[in-house]
Amino acid sequence: MISAVMSGCWLGYAGGMPTIEQLERLREADPADTFVLYALAQEQAKQGMHEEAIRSYRACLAVDPDYLYAYFHMARSMEAEDLEDEAIEALREGLRRATAVGDAQAKGEIGQYLDSIEP
């Protein structure tokens, strides 16, 4: 199985991003591959499969809690499922992690999103 990326294209997938089924096979081959877990979540979310996407984002964050944009996009899927409180908590955790690792760009983007949905 190939999970390497070169110039934004998946190696071994001439049509660009692999399908959800292909990503699931890659995940089965290496359940700790955060890039595959994140890509799977993104594809699931894109297809409106938000519950599945949330599970995949959580799996990604369980392996690497500093995969910062997983918090951002997981919150979007949570919002799509009317889980606003969970989305806010995910963003707060993402903001804490971004601050801890010193990622100003992620901190700014996560903070803006949090400000837009926090009561």
Residue-wise pLDDT for 78-91, tens only, equals 999 999 999 999 99
Q: Structural domains in the chain?
A: 5-117 (1.25.40.10)
For 20, 71, 90, 95, the CA distances from 65, given in Å and listed in that order, are 23, 9, 11, 12
Model's pTM, two decimal places?
Answer: 0.85
Give strand pairing partners of 9. 6
- Render pLDDT for 29-72 as a digit per residue (tens, 0 to 9): 999 999 999 999 999 999 999 999 999 999 999 999 999 999 99
Inter-residue contact 33 to 27 (CB < 8 Å): yes
Task: Report which of 47, 62, 49 is spatially closest to residue 93, judged by C-alpha positions.
Answer: 62
pLDDT of residue 10: 46
Burial of 64 (0-12, 13-18, 19+ CB in 10 A): middle
For the chain, the maximum distance between any two Cα atoms, rounded to a whole number of angstroms, is 45
